[in-house]
Amino acid sequence: MNNMKYSICFISFFFLFMMMMVNFFFMIYFIMNDMVILMEWEIMSFNSLSIVMSILLDWMSLLFMMFVFLISSVVIYYSKSYMQSELNLSRFIILVLLFVFSMMLLIISPNIISILLGWDGLGLVSYCLVIYYQNLKSYNAGMLTALSNRVGDVFILIVISWMLNYGSWNYIFYLEFMNNDWEMMMIGSMIIMAAMTKSAQIPFSSWLPAAMAAPTPVSALVHSSTLVTAGVYLLIRFNMMLLDMFFLKLLLLLSGLTMFMAGISANYEFDLKKIIALSTLSQLGLMMSILSMGLPDLAFFHLLTHAMFKALLFMCAGIIIHMMNDIQDIRFMGGISLYIPLTSLCMNISNMALCGIPFLAGFYSKDLILELVSFSNLNLMIFFLYYLSTGLTMFYSFRLMMYLMVNDFNLLSIFNLYDEDYIMLKSMFVLLFMSIISGSFLSWMIFSYPYMIYLPFNLKMMVIYVSLVGGMLGYFISNMKIYSVNKFLMTYNLSNFLCLMWFMPNLSTYGLSYYFLNLGQSLLKNIDMGWSEIYSGFGMMQVMKKYSVFYNVYQMNNFMIYLFSFIIWMFILFMMLMFNN
Amino acid sequence: MMKFLMMMIFMIPLCFMKNMFWMVQMMLMLMMFMFMNLGVKLNLFCNLSYMMSCDIMSYGLILLSIWISILMIMASENLYKMDYYVNFFLFNVIFLLIMLYLTFSTLNMFMFYLFFEGSLIPTLLLIIGWGYQPERIQAGMYLLFYTLFVSLPLLIGIFYMNNEMNCMIIYFLKFFNLNNYLLYISMILAFLVKMPMYFVHLWLPKAHVEAPVSGSMILAGIMLKLGGYGLLRLMIFLQEINMKLNYIWIVISLVGGFYISLKCFCQIDIKSLIAYSSVAHMSIVISGIMIMNYWGFIGSYILMIGHGLCSSGMFCLANISYERLHSRSLYINKGMMNFMPSMSLWWFLLMSSNMAAPPSLNLMGEISLINSLMSWSWISMLMLMLISFFSAGYSLYLYSFIQHGNYYSGIYSYYTGVSREYLMLMLHWLPLNILVLKIDYSMIWF
Amino acid sequence: MANVPLYGVKTHAQKVCSLYKRALRNLEAYYDRRNVYRYQAVLLRDRFDKNAKITDMRKAVELLKEGEDELFKTQHPIPKLFPTSQGGVAHQRVVTPPDWVIDYWHPLEKAHFPEYFKRREQRKKEFIAMWEKEYGTADKKEEKH
C-alpha cells in the first residue's frame, strides 16, 4: 500500500484517466460527424415483447461519460491521500469504482428496463458510500438517502408497466410519436417524479445535505457532480415528450423553489460540507428549471460545467476538513488563506466559477441561462425566483469566503495546517484547469450555433446587479460588530424555518416514518398477535379444549351414569328406527 | 424420471454409514448435474415414465429443490461437527427431497396431494428434532395444523373431480371447465395457506424462528413454492369461476403485502424479519397467479425461484451470525462489518437481491408481476409501489442494523467466515443473478 | 447513560451551573467571533450574577425554570460541536474491532505478518507468566466446567 505505483488508487486513477481520454476522442469524432450508435442485445422475447439491453452512444452520453471519468479519476487519486489512514481503503475504492460503473450504465442506456441496472445500482452503491463511516449520523443519512432514491426506483418500475402499452421499452422511439397519449402523460409525470428524487427537488430534497455524512471524496464525486445530475440527465433524454405537459409547469415551480430554498438555507448553515451541498441543490434547481422551460441543451451545459467546479469545491473543502482534524463547522475556521494559500486559491476560483464571475466556467452556462430566462415569456414569480437565487448564490459564497479566509483565526489552540499535500493538490489542479476553461470550451463545442439574445440594457445587466447586491450583503451580514444583536435571534422562528430547509428533513424522516411505524406496530399487535391468532390457530385450540374438557366432565362421572346414558341413546336410536318406518 | 427417484432412494443407506456427510452432498450434486442435462426443451410434458414427467415448470422447481437440499447439507455442517444425529438428519433431507421431487414430477393429482402433504412430515421432524428452543413444539404444531386443516377439502375436491371427470391426470385438466364455487374454495385454500396468504401466514414466522437453518432454508426455499406450484397447475380448469372470485385473493394479497412489509419494521428477530419479508413477496406471487394472465404466471414463477434462492441465502446468513453469537436478536447482532467485512458483502448482495435490485431474478419477476397487475387495474399501482418501496426499506433496515455501527459490547469470542460459508452463499447468489441472462427458458412453459 | 444528566439528584447549585454552561455553549453557536462572544458572555454572566444572592428557594427554582425555558426557546438549530463529541460529525466514525479478533484469524492470514504474530505470541506468554506470578497458577479443576 505504501508504494505509490501499485496502490489500488493509482491503478484505478490510471485506468479511469485513460478511459476519459478515449471517451474524449470518441466524443470529438461523434460530434464532428454527428453520429449516433444504438446497440441492442436481446435478453428475452415473447408475445412480441422483447426485453433488451440497449446502449446508446451519441455525443451527449460520451461527453457526460468523459466528465464522469475525469472527476472519478481525480477523486480516486485524491483519496489516496485523504483516506490514507483508512483501514478499509480497498473497500472504499471498489465502491467508488462500482459507482462509476453504474453511472456509466445509466448514461448509455435509453431503455427503461436496462436503465434500472444503472439507476438501482446508483442508489445501492451510494447507500454503501454514505454509510461508509460507522457513526449513527451516517446510518440515518444513508437510510434517508436510500429510501428517497428508492421512491424514484419504484416510479421507474411502474413506468415499465406503463410502457408495456407500446410493446417495447426503448423509450426514445416513442417520445415524439406518442406525445399526446394519456399513457405517455402518466409515464412523463412518473419520470419527472423519479428524476426529482434523484436530483433532490423539493419534496425530496432533504437527503442531499444529509448525505454529507459520507467521506468527502464521495461528496465530490457522487453528491455534487454525478449521482444528483442523473435525474437531470434522464429528463434531458425525455425532454421531447415533456414539452407540453402540465406537470412540467409544476416542475418549473418546484425547481425554482428548490433553488430559492437551498440558496437561503445555505446562508444559515454552518457545516462546511452542507453549505456546498445546499449550493449544489440550488444549482440542481437551476438545471431542472431551465430544463422545464424546454431548453435541455442549456441544462446539460450547466450540468457539465457545474460538475467541474463543484467537485473542485468539495475537494478543497475536503483538504480543509482533513487538516482541521474532521472539524466541519465554519465557526471554527477563519483566516486560513494565510496558512494554506494554494488550497484557498482553488477554493476561491471554484467559488467564483459558481457565482458566475465572467470568463470562468460557470459564467458561460449561468449567464446564458439567465439571459434566456429574461428573454422568454415568464411570470414575475419565476423571474424573481431566478434572480433572487442568483443573488443568493453570491451571498452564501461570499459568506463562506469571509468565514473561511478573511475572519480572525478561530481554530483550536493546537492545529496543523499545511499546504504541501501534493497528491491532493495535483488532483485538484486538473479540475482547477477544467473549471476555468470548460465553460468556454463546451460552449464553443456543443452548440451548433450561438443563441441570439436581445435584451434591454438594464435587463442585460440584471445578473451583475443582483450579484453585486448579493456579494455586498454576504459581506455585511457575516461582518459582526461587537454591540450588534444577532440577526438570527431577532427573527428566531423564521430563521429556524429557513435554517432547517423549510423543515423538510424533519418532515421526511419523523413526519413519514412515525405514521408508518405506528401502523406497522398496531397491525402487528392487532392482527398478527390478535384477531388472526384468535380466529385461527390459538382460538381454535381454545374452542377444542373447551369442548373436550366438557366431554371429559361428562366421562368422569360415575360409571353407572355413563352406562345409563348409553342405554338412553340406544333407546332413542331404536325409537327413531322404529318410527321411521 | 424414474432413475432420479431410484438414485435418491438408494442414497438412503448411504446416509446411515459413518462419515458420509459430504459424500451424500456430493451425490446430490452429481444428481443435480445429471438433472440439469435432462434436456427439457419443450413446454410440454416430457420424459414420461411411471406417472412421472416434467415440463419446464416442474423442471425449474425440481432443480431448485435439489439445489436447496445440497445447500441445506452444506449449511448444517455444525450438526456433523457435533455429531448431532447426523445420519437421521441426512435421511430426513433425502426423504424430504424425494417427497418434493415426486410432488413436482407426478402427473396424477392424487399423487400430487399425497406427496404435497407428505413433505410436511420431514419438515416437521426437522423443526422438532433439530430446532433450538422448547417453543419449537408449538411452532411445529402450527405448521402442521394450519396446513392440514385446509388440505382435507383439497383431498375431497380431488376425489370429486375424479368422480366428475374420471380422470386425475394434471395435463388433461385443461380440457375441463368446472364452474363450481365449493370446488374452487376447496382446491385453492390449501395452497393459499401453504404460500402463505396474508391472514393465514401465522405459522410461517413461528416455524422459521424455531427451525434450524436447514429447516428454514427448505421452508423458505421450497415449501412456500409448493403452494405456488399447485395454484399454477390447478388454476386452469377453474377458469370461469376464477374470473369471478379471484379478485378477493388479489386484494387481500396486495393490501396484506403492504401490511406485512410494515410489520417487518417491527421485528427484532432476524429470522422472523426474513420470514415476514418472504410473506410479503409471496403475496405478490399470489396476486400474480390469481390475475390469470401470461405475465402474471411467468412473473410468479420467476419470483418463486428467485425468492427461493434469495431467502434461503438470507437464512444461511442469519445462521452464520447465530453460530457465532448464539442470538438472533438485532440488538446483539450489531456492527458485524467490523468482524466479518467479507461476509458483509454477501449480506449486502443477498439483501439487495431481496429488494429486487437488478440483475436478480426477483427484479425480473417483480417487473412481470407489476406488468400483469397493472394490466388488470392500474389502481393496483398504489399498493405495488408501497410494497416495492417498503421491501427496500426493511431490507436495508436489516442490513444496516446488523452490519453497520458499533458492535455489541458483550462479545468476547468470535471467528471469521470460513470458505464453506462463502461457497454456500456464492452458490445462492450466483444462480440468482446469472439465470437472468437466460430467462427466456422460464417464459415459454405454457 | 453517562450523557444523560441525572436531573433529580442534582442540587440546585449544580443545576444552575449546568444551565450556565449550556447557555454559554449556546451563545458560542450564535456569536462566532471571539470578541463578540466575550462581550455577550459577560452580559450573560451578569444576568446570572444578579440573581446569585437570592435566598428564597421558591423564587430561585422559578428563575431556574424560566432560564431553562429561555434556553430551550433560543436553542441554536445547528449547535457548535466538537467533531468527536456526542452529536458531532466524527463521533464514533471509526469502529476499531477489539484486539482479540486477530487471534481468530486463519493461519494463512496470519502468515502474511509473521513477525507481528511471533511477537504477539511472545507477549501473550509473557502476560500469562506475569499473571501467574502475581496470582498463582490457575486451578486445573476449574478449567473444566
Tens digits of per-residue pLDDT, C38-56? 999 999 999 999 988 888 9
Q: Which three cell numbers stand for residue A68?
A: 464522469
Buried/exposed B10-20: b ≥16 CB within 10 Å, e otherwise: ebeeebeeeeb
The predicted pLDDT at position A1 comes to: 42
Contact A536 B146 (CB under 8 A): yes
Mean pLDDT taken over chain B: 91
Which residue type is seen at B77?
A: E
Q: How many CA atoms lie within 13 A of A80 on its CB side?
A: 28
The last residue of a domain, from among C21, C38, C73: C73
The predicted pLDDT at position A183 comes to: 85
Of the candidates A325, A327, A407, which has its C-beta nearest C33's C-beta? Answer: A407
The model's pLDDT over A478-500, given as tens digits with 9 standing for 90+, comes to 777 777 777 778 888 898 898 88
Which positions in chain B touch A524 (Cβ < 8 Å)?
263, 266
The model's pLDDT over A327-378, given as tens digits with 9 standing for 90+, comes to 999 988 888 888 899 999 999 999 999 998 889 999 999 999 999 999 888 8
Give chain C's domain count: 2
Nearest to B357 by CA among A168, A122, A43: A122
The per-residue DSSP string of A220-239 comes to HHIIIIITTHHHHHHHHHTH
**A379 in Cβ contact with A305 (< 8 Å):** no
**B221 in Cβ contact with B75 (< 8 Å):** no
Q: Give the C-alpha separation, A507 to A252, whole Å.
A: 22
Which positions in chain B touch A156 (Cβ < 8 Å)?
none
Q: Is the pLDDT of residue C6 over 60?
A: no
The model's pLDDT over A431-460, given as tens digits with 9 standing for 90+, comes to 999 999 999 989 998 888 888 888 999 988
Question: Which residues are A44's β-sheet partners?
Answer: A51
Contact A131 B404 (CB under 8 A): yes
Q: Is the pLDDT of residue A411 over 90?
A: no
Q: How many CA atoms lie within 13 A of B230 on its CB side?
A: 32
Whether C61 and C106 share a structural domain:
no
Q: Is the pLDDT of residue B445 over 70?
A: no
The per-residue DSSP string of B392-419 comes to HHHHHHHHHHHHSSPPPTT--------H
Q: Of the given ranges (A546-555, B130-139, B352-361), which has the lowest mean pLDDT?
A: A546-555
Contact B370 A537 (CB under 8 A): no
Angstroms from B206 CA to nearest CA on chain C: 34
Nearest to A432 by CA among A521, A312, A348, A274: A312
**A90 in Cβ contact with A450 (< 8 Å):** no
Q: Which three cell numbers stand for residue A576?
A: 327413531
Contact B404 A120 (CB under 8 A): no
Assigned domain for C31 exists = yes
State phi, psi for B145 to the nearest 5 degrees.
-80, -30
Which positions in chain A touch B374 (Cβ < 8 Å)?
158, 161-162, 164
Measure Cα distances from A42 to A168, B42, B200, B294, B364 in Å: 12, 21, 41, 20, 14
Mean pLDDT taken over chain C: 86
How far is C-alpha B230 from the geometric centre of its chain's CA atoms?
A: 13
Assigned domain for C80 exists = no
Q: A158 touching B, CB under 8 A? A: yes
The per-residue DSSP string of B281-307 comes to HHHHHHHHHHTTSHHHHHHHHHHHHHH
**B274 in Cβ contact with B318 (< 8 Å):** yes
Which positions in chain C touch A271 (Cβ < 8 Å)?
78, 89
The model's pLDDT over A218-261, given as tens digits with 9 standing for 90+, comes to 999 998 889 999 999 999 998 887 777 788 889 999 999 999 99
Q: Is the dihedral of CA B318, B324, B326, B332 positive or negative?
A: negative
Q: For A545-574, what is the mean pLDDT? A: 85
Contact B415 C104 (CB under 8 A): yes
Contacts A–B by Cβ distance under 8 A: 126
Assigned domain for C142 exists = no
Contact A480 C80 (CB under 8 A): no
Mean pLDDT taken over chain A: 89
Q: B446 touching A, CB under 8 A? A: no
* Domain locations in chain A as residue ranges: 132-499, 523-580
Q: B412 touching C, CB under 8 A? A: yes
The model's pLDDT over B23-33, given as tens digits with 9 standing for 90+, comes to 999 999 999 99
The predicted pLDDT at position B40 comes to: 73
Q: A497 touching C, CB under 8 A? A: no
Nearest-by-CA chain A residue for C39: A482
Q: Is the pLDDT of residue C1 over 50?
A: no
The model's pLDDT over A274-310, given as tens digits with 9 standing for 90+, comes to 999 999 999 999 999 999 988 899 999 999 999 999 9
The model's pLDDT over A65-107, given as tens digits with 9 standing for 90+, comes to 999 999 999 999 999 999 888 888 889 999 999 999 999 999 9
Contact C89 A500 (CB under 8 A): no
Assigned domain for C129 exists = yes
Q: Where are the beta strands (DSSP E) in chain C?
A: none
The model's pLDDT over B223-268, given as tens digits with 9 standing for 90+, comes to 999 999 999 988 888 888 998 999 999 999 999 999 999 999 999 9
Which positions in chain B touch A534 (Cβ < 8 Å)?
none
Q: Give the C-alpha separation, A172 to A110, whole Å.
A: 6
Contacts of B165 (CB under 8 A, 6+ apart): B172, B176
State phi, psi for B403 to the nearest 5 degrees.
-90, -35
**Which chains touch A (3+ CB pairs under 8 A)?**
B, C
- Best residue in C101, C104, C105, C106 for a mutation probing chain B (most B CBs within 10 Å): C101
Q: Give the C-alpha separation, A519 to A517, whole Å.
A: 5
Q: Which three cell numbers stand for residue B215?
A: 429447516
User: Which structural domain range is residue C43 located in?
Assistant: 12-73
Of the candidates B381, B404, B405, which has its C-beta nearest A158's C-beta? Answer: B381
Which positions in chain B touch A162 (Cβ < 8 Å)?
374
Nearest-by-CA chain A residue for C85: A327
Nearest-by-CA chain A residue for B359: A117
Q: What HEC string does A251-283 produce?
A: HHHHHHHHHHHHHHHHHHCCEHHHHHHHHHHHH
Secondary structure class of A398 (helix, strand, coil): helix
Q: B406 touching C, CB under 8 A? A: yes
Q: A528 touching C, CB under 8 A? A: no
Nearest-by-CA chain C residue for A141: C89
Buried/exposed B216-249: b ≥16 CB within 10 Å, e otherwise: bbbbbbbbbbbbbbbbbbbbbbbeebbeeebeeb
Q: B408 touching A, CB under 8 A? A: no
This prediction has a pTM of 0.91
- Regarding an ipTM greater than 0.90, the answer is yes
Q: Of the given ranges (A217-226, A438-447, B389-398, B404-413), which has the lowest mean pLDDT?
A: B404-413
Q: For B432-439, what is the mean pLDDT? A: 90
**A204 in Cβ contact with A148 (< 8 Å):** yes
The per-residue DSSP string of B15-55 comes to HTSTT-HHHHHHHHHHHHHHHHTT---SSS-EEEETTEEE-
* Domain locations in chain B as residue ranges: 51-408+415-443
Q: Give the C-alpha separation, A24 to A63, whole Å.
A: 7
Nearest to A360 by CA among A430, A309, A307, A285: A309
* Residues on chain C bordering chain A, Cβ-to-Cβ distance under 8 angstroms: 28-36, 39, 73-74, 76-78, 80-84, 89-95
Q: Is the pLDDT of residue B104 over 50?
A: yes
Q: Which three cell numbers stand for residue A520?
A: 406497522
The predicted pLDDT at position B10 comes to: 94
Tell me the pLDDT band of C69, cut-offs 50, 70 and 90.
Answer: very high
Q: Which three cell numbers stand for residue A387?
A: 434572480
The per-residue DSSP string of A376-392 comes to S---HHHHHHHHHHHHH
Which residue type is seen at B241?
A: I
Secondary structure class of B329 (helix, strand, coil): strand
Whether C64 and C16 share a structural domain:
yes
Tell me the pLDDT band of B446, cut-offs 50, 70 and 90.
Answer: low
Assigned domain for C78 exists = no
Angle B416-B421-B425 from CA coordinates, rounded to 5°: 125
**Gap between the terminal Cα atoms of chain C:** 35
Q: For C80-85, what is the mean pLDDT? A: 89
The per-residue DSSP string of A36-75 comes to -EEEEEEEEEETTEEEEEEEEE-HHHHHHHHHHHHHHHHH
Q: B388 touching A, CB under 8 A? A: yes
Give the number of other CB atoms < 10 A from CB of residue C133: 9
Assigned domain for C105 exists = yes
Q: Which of residues 17-76 of A touch B (CB under 8 A)?
A: 43-47, 51
Task: Give, as one character, the DSSP assignment of residue C95.
Answer: P
Assigned domain for C143 exists = no
Contact B264 A520 (CB under 8 A): yes
Q: Give the C-alpha separation, C64 to B326, whole Å.
A: 50
Contacts of B108 (CB under 8 A, 6+ apart): B51, B168, B169, B170
Of the candidates A51, A88, A523, which has its C-beta nearest B341's C-beta? Answer: A88
* Residues on chain C bordering chain B, Cβ-to-Cβ distance under 8 angstroms: 92, 95-98, 100-101, 104-106
Secondary structure class of A407 (helix, strand, coil): coil
Which residue type is seen at B314?
A: M
- Best residue in C25, C27, C33 for a mutation probing chain A (most A CBs within 10 Å): C33
